[in-house]
Structure 1
Amino acid sequence: MGTDTFCFKCWDSIFSYEEPRVVRIRSISLGVIYWSIMLAVLLFVILYLIFYSNGYQQFDPVDGAVTTKLFGVVKPNDTGSSSFRPVWDNADYMVPPKENGAFTVITSVLVTQGQVQSTCDEDPSIRGAQCEVHENCTAEKALLYGNGVMTGYCIGSTHAPDINVCQINAWCPVEINNSSKRMFLASENFTAFIRNNVKFPAFDRKRQNFPDNMDDKELGSCVFDPGHPRNRHCPIFKISTIAQEAGYSFNSMMIEGAVIEIIIKWDCNFDCDDECLPTYSFHRLDRVHHPASRGFHLRYADHYTNQNGQSVRTLYRAYGIRVIVTVNGSGRKFSPYVTAKTVGSGMSYFGFAAFVVSLVILRLYKLCCKKKRCLEDCCCTRCAKCLQKCVCVCACWTGSYDCCCCKPFEENSSSNQDRHVDDLTETTFVFRDALKVT
């Protein structure tokens, strides 16, 4: 018997349909709240989701690559010995020569010439390099920021006669930080050619960061100018212009260098403009006012063999402006599928209006008396105009009472005339805002 009952319930739950009953409330205040929210939601969907957020278009992120070339020739302000290069071109000051989406231009350099593998005194400014006795220098140990491996001997410094330092095996003589730098004053006139080729796979479109009608002659003579209608799309950038657009002068970057980011932003609307071009923004990334590790520098060396067959090198500690190029953005185009999805998701917000009205009914319209007392005291005595069973409802923001008449759906049915007020789901409430009972 129990099994039959269980099977019957399962069968009945599967092949059955439930229809929720609706309560209709006639109230001017609730109607104003409901339709105001509906209008606000409609404006939000149309103005913001569809037009402002481009909800009718399909977006495709940009995909591409950046290549750079640097042009210019410079003569340092002090060439020093005759073995130092008197003239530098892009093969000398662009280190490393090829990078993906970045380049470095040298603005000043500290040169240590004629280094050979030998033993010499350590730089006295290195932490732990100064000593009093041999025991202070542990053999075969390298200092954290040292230039070589200690031999175990404490010797006098050739750079500071009154100081003793540890002897090391290294490229000698070692680099000294307080040596004078050679400045590349003319490097602000160097030009960088930044070529950016991108594609939008979803739309099968390919673009480059200069106009299609710009020929080789114009490309070789133009220079980027953000205020010029034509040259603002020129891919040739002066180093001084890059520094100025980042908010700093070139002279402030010469001694210690800097790190600058160039952002190439693509925003292509293929519904309006089939040939779109990017915009550029410039930002300095290194911490300018921080006392430690600011700017940018690197080391590299030129190796050669002297007349005695000994390996010799010239060490360069180069300070410069490192430029990093990043690409972002997207392309967009009208899509019926995206439009339908946006409208469909926006329609779900319309249920918010019914939720707010229900919240107002449950929280703001409170039953101020028991139903039995309401029927006897309120409706029969004070609400003389109510011809049927009523419920007194409190309008909380005014502190007064409204007469809520309980009106059956089937007005002519005699059975519904004796229906209890407790069956609220089958009734129609009429909030008579004009009847204020004190």
Structure 2
Amino acid sequence: MGQAGCKGFFQSAFDYKTEKYVIAKNKKVGLLYRLLQLTILLYLVVWVFVIKKGYQDMDTSLQSAVVTKVKGVAYTNTSELGERLWDVADYVIPPQGDNVFFVITNLIVTANQRQSTCAEREGIPDGMCSQDHDCRAGEPVIAGNGVKTGRCLLAGNSTVGTCEIFAWCPVETQSRPKKPLLRDAEDFTIFIKNYIRFPKFNFSKANVLEAKNKDFLKSCRFGPNNHYCPIFRLGSVVQWAGSNFQDIASEGGVIGVHIEWNCDLDKAASECHPRYYFNRLDNKHGKSVSSGYNFRFARYYRDSAGVEFRNLMKAYGIRIHVIVNGKAGKFSIIPTIINVGSGVALMGAGAFFCDLVLIYIIKKREFYRDKKYEEVRGREYAARGAEAEAETEEMEQGQTAEEQPEGERREEEPQAPPQSSSWKENGGVCGKLPRSSRTGVLKNAKVNVQQLQTLQTVGT
């Protein structure tokens, strides 16, 4: 028994099992199925392959280098600095070109500061006092400009004054010019040179047009029809970012210059072009005490006596961030097979949805469910069922025979077979007959035997 089971299991391993398909003649479900197939096919062809280029292998590990330069001059005449000409060495920080740089457009200058004692600037809470013990010597002024000396300086008959501090005196001026100091910065030009490389495909390119004319970059300007001239007017960059130049030049701000490379390497390399986007990165809509962008720096000098002094400058301006991103794609059989397989799997999902509609939602769902699912029992259950049906049939035949009259039952009983040697072998046949039939046969056999004995007696 165990060997037979193992043999059957081994043979079943080489069986091929296929599905049984039921064709449902239902126009509504059929139309729904075709619509689902068409939708999935359009998604696969239009979105996956045409728009997303699902047949390509993608490289998003972009390697990039950015070099920047700013050019332009501006003239100012102020009481603090007098007449002055500003060039790139004065207003660009840091001086070496990088992907992040700052262009000064406005200044608050505190000239000729020296280290000495003076009054703290008004408006600083920790620097206010009414008596000397309010100014503890040696304590720095929180959010102030120096260290307290222990004296409280009162102006006139005022009861509230400021602490005396040891600092760079005079302290910083807070009056910001109403108009930007470098109003001519709007016409400054920015040169942005970008090199990119996609290592997976060993593809490199730059955003500068390869031209033999060296004067090309001196005269060209970036525009909608000239994407390979990476020279941008500063005022235009601010405008493309959605801001007003005079506002951002007065308070400062942060501008993002985005360079995007989306290259289809199935085409020629000349078809791979950079695209530029500009936006304001800081919060331009909300007005707060920290709006804009500024920082401080100083320039130090010594007089003839060797005393050190400095000019403190609080600079407002435009901070430029050059952000580069992109991807490259090239045909590959592996993503093509994967996306086609995904589409075929989605087709199966459409059939599954239609099955749910067919056997659970529509009115004739019971009929279709009976046709789709067939109940099959095992061999043991089938044998038991056959025995039960046979016993039921015998009982019904026995009851029918008992209910019939004796005369009719005799007519239905089979005639006795002739006496021969084969009669003894018919016991197996009788055994196979129903119980009522076997009783009739035995009675007829007894009658025939009695008749034969009577004839033999008369003959003797």
TM-score computed with the length of structure 2 as normaliser: 0.72
Match for 2:336 among 339, 352, 362?
339
Instruction: Give the CA deviation at 1:221.
Output: 1.4
What is residue 75 of structure 1 aligned with on the other side? 75
What is residue 33 of structure 1 aligned with on the other side? 32
Q: CA–CA distance in 2 between the matches of 1:117 and 1:105?
A: 30
- Please state if 1:284 is matched with 2:280: yes
Alpha-carbon spacing, 1:67–1:14, altered in 2? closer, same or farther (3 Å): farther
After TM superposition, the structure 1 = structure 2 runs for residues 7-22 of structure 1, keeping only pairs within 5 Å, are 19=17, 22=20
Instruction: Give the CA deviation at 1:338.
Output: 2.2
Alpha-carbon spacing, 1:150–1:55, altered in 2? closer, same or farther (3 Å): same
- Please state if 1:320 is matched with 2:351: no
Alpha-carbon spacing, 1:408–1:94, altered in 2? closer, same or farther (3 Å): closer
What is residue 53 of structure 2 aligned with on the other side? 54
Instruction: Give the CA deviation at 1:274.
Output: 1.0
What is residue 229 of structure 2 aligned with on the other side? 234
Alpha-carbon spacing, 1:225–1:407, altered in 2? closer, same or farther (3 Å): closer
Gaps of 5+ in 1: 369-390, 395-402, 410-414, 420-438
Report SS of the residue matched to 2:128.
Answer: coil
Q: Is the 2:130–2:159 contact (alpha carbons within 8 Å) kept by the matching residues of 1?
A: no
Instruction: Give the CA deviation at 1:323.
Output: 1.0
Instruction: Give the CA deviation at 1:222.
Output: 0.9
Match for 2:143 among 131, 145, 149?
145
Gaps of 5+ in 2: 377-381, 387-460
Deviations 1:219-244 (A, max 9, x none): 12112223xx23x3311111111111
Q: Is the 1:366–1:393 contact (alpha carbons within 8 Å) kept by the matching residues of 2?
A: no
What is residue 172 of structure 1 aligned with on the other side? 169
Instruction: Give the CA deviation at 1:152.
Output: 2.4
AA paired with 1:336?
I
Instruction: Give the CA deviation at 1:340.
Output: 2.0
Q: Is the 1:49–1:346 contact (alpha carbons within 8 Å) kept by the matching residues of 2?
A: no
Q: CA–CA distance in 2 between the matches of 1:13 and 1:79?
A: 102
Alpha-carbon spacing, 1:100–1:406, altered in 2? closer, same or farther (3 Å): closer
Q: Is the 1:365–1:393 contact (alpha carbons within 8 Å) kept by the matching residues of 2?
A: no
Query: Computing the radius of gyration over CA atoms, which structure comes out larger, 1 or 2?
Result: 2
Report SS of the residue matched to 2:285.
Answer: coil
Q: Which has a greater percent of helix?
A: 2
AA paired with 1:286?
D
CA RMSD of aligned residues (A): 3.5
TM-score computed with the length of structure 1 as normaliser: 0.75
AA paired with 2:281?
L
User: What fraction of aligned residue pairs are identical, expressed as a percent?
Assistant: 34
Q: How many residues align?
A: 372
What is residue 249 of structure 1 aligned with on the other side? 244
Deviations 1:53-84 (A, max 9, x none): 111122222320111111111112x3325x65
Q: CA–CA distance in 2 between the matches of 1:94 and 1:38?
A: 61
Match for 1:297 among 290, 294, 298?
294
Q: CA–CA distance in 2 between the matches of 1:92 and 1:184?
A: 11
Q: Is the 1:141–1:150 contact (alpha carbons within 8 Å) kept by the matching residues of 2?
A: yes
What is residue 271 of structure 1 aligned with on the other side? 266
Report SS of the residue matched to 2:292.
Answer: coil
Report SS of the residue matched to 2:295.
Answer: strand
Q: Is the 1:297–1:317 contact (alpha carbons within 8 Å) kept by the matching residues of 2?
A: yes
- Please state if 1:262 is matched with 2:261: no
